[in-house]
Amino acid sequence: MAASIIDSSIFQGIFSTGAMRRVWSDENRTAKYLEVERALALVQARLGLIPQEAADEIASHCRLEEIDMARLREQTERIGYPILGVVTQLNQLCRDKLGEYAHWGATTQDITDTATVLQIREALELVDAELEAIARALAKLAREHRLTPVIGRSNLQQAIPVTFGYKMAGLLAAILRHRERLAQTRQRALVGEFAGAAGTLASLQRGAIETQAGLCAELGLAQPLIAWHTVRDNIAEVGALLGLIGGTLGKLSMDVKLMMQTEVGEVYEPYHHGRGSRSTMPQKRNPISSCYIHAAISVLRQHAAALMDAMVADHERSTGPWEIEWIVLPEAFCLLAGALKHSRAVLEGLEVDAAAMRRNIDLTGGLVMSEAVMMGLGPYIGREYAHDLVYDLCRQSLEKKVALLDLLAGHPEIRRHVDRAGLARMLDPAGYLGQSGVMVDRVLARMSD
């Protein structure tokens, strides 16, 4: 009976993905324990630390299907950790007491941490694949709408025109940075752990560092310089990365929600029959994916903070903060997977209404172009004076409900320098997009590097 939103038979496909849930499942976690124990035995046999016959026997039983998961649950509840239960079962599966050589010189946290790193490696591959797909979708929108005018907004008020391609390119730049961060995080986080009780490898009188190096090589992980049992910045960095990615997805979802408002209507999430409808208001088309993105990444940020708390550990083996990671790391990855899935679907099927964008720019009768007029008049009458003059005319436009162009063209001082046609050009949103197109091109160029 599932109680978590991640494992709910109803909600699991909304808040996460099957692929990410499999990475953090009990079965995969236990399989990773066995993978580490198998690699340890094989490496130690090559180094002559345990008999080859024992390593072969241990390796032959490091298979998930040979582990009694119900019994492992009982053992874990009794002992407090699953590793000893796995080792006990593995030992008992081996003939002639050869299983006694399993886990040779290791401690529970060595196996747990290394298995977690293997899970993180799988999970980051899923995250990076989704980021790549999201980047492609954003690049397509940025390219197609490179010069599509849309109103830029400041404090939820209309500011000056930008382009929709510029908005998408801004998000794309962040996604590209996240992929860079992910690659850098891999270098620091994908590090194995084999250090013994207090991190000194005192349990092995010979071949200790060689075992550590061989184990990490066998698993495709980097070898640690020193034990990191209670120095957890690597795991916290993974959480911070997930939080940063979630923040960008939250920005996307926020903008989509606001642009989908009935009074705005500039973009829409992809249409699917019945999706986002309500039981009482048939006309509504809710930004349902964006709502789920927002919810997921809000919880994700709290998990990132919890992983920072898990860094505050005592001495060489700690009294509890470690278990925080067990609770929040799987859920953080699962929630991000759900947010990534929704974000990709939104972007790949986003409906863009360029006509509505232009209609909204024109709502103020030209007031959003007041900066352009001010800068255009500046060379003739001075920038500061132009600012004050245009400011007054904007107030009159609002009070009298008169188009700004009419007020500008009717002002004697302005008329001496610029005619109505020139003022109309200043008020054309398409002529005041700044370097939007250039910036879009620069981001697209970075993506193709």
- The full set of domains in the chain, from first to last, is 14-155+163-358 (1.20.200.10), 364-448 (1.10.40.30)
pLDDT at 284 over 80: no
pLDDT at 422 over 80: yes
Distance separating the N- and C-terminal Cα atoms of the chain: 48
Question: Which residues lie across from 353 on neighbouring strands?
Answer: none
Taking the C-alpha atoms of residue 111 and residue 87, their distance in angstroms, rounded to an integer, is 10
Taking the C-alpha atoms of residue 258 and residue 237, their distance in angstroms, rounded to an integer, is 32
Taking the C-alpha atoms of residue 277 and residue 288, their distance in angstroms, rounded to an integer, is 9
Question: Per-residue confidence at 382, pLDDT binned at 50, 70, 90?
Answer: very high
Neighbours of 326 (CB within 10 A): 14
The stretch 131-152 carries a mean pLDDT of 98
Asked if 23 and 123 count as a contact pair (C-beta separation under 8 A), the reply is yes
Question: Per-residue confidence at 283, pLDDT binned at 50, 70, 90?
Answer: low
Torsion angle defined by CA atoms of residues 177, 178, 179 and 181, in that order, rounded to the nearest 10 degrees? 90
Burial per residue of 44-68, b for 16 or more beta-carbon CB atoms within 10 angstroms, e otherwise: bbbbebbeeebbebbbebbeeeebe
Query: E strands along 304-448, which residues?
Result: 351-352
pLDDT of residue 448: 80
Q: Which amino acid is at 430?
A: A
Give the DSSP letter of residue 54. Answer: H
Rg of the chain (C-alpha set): 30
> Tokens 């799987």 map to which residue?
330
Pairing of strands 351-352, 157-163: unpaired
Q: Which amino acid is at 152?
A: G
Share of the chain above pLDDT 70, in %: 98
Residues 6+ apart with CB under 8 A from 99: 54, 57, 58, 61, 90, 91, 92, 93
DSSP conformation letters of 293-344 = HHHHHHHHHHHHHHHHHTT---SSS-SSHHHHHHHHHHHHHHHHHHHHHHHH
pTM over 0.75: yes
pLDDT of residue 277: 55
Question: Which residue from 74, 18, 113 is spatially nearest to 329, judged by alpha carbons?
Answer: 113
Taking the C-alpha atoms of residue 134 and residue 174, their distance in angstroms, rounded to an integer, is 11
3-class secondary structure, 159: strand
Burial per residue of 170-186, b for 16 or more beta-carbon CB atoms within 10 angstroms, e otherwise: bbbbbbbebbeebeebb
pLDDT of residue 348: 98
pLDDT of residue 278: 57
Question: Per-residue confidence at 274, pLDDT binned at 50, 70, 90?
Answer: low
Question: Which residue from 33, 160, 11 is spatially nearest to 87, judged by alpha carbons?
Answer: 33
Helical axes 26-46 vs 52-61, angle rounded to 10°: 170
- H/E element, 33: helix 26-46
The stretch 134-159 carries a mean pLDDT of 97
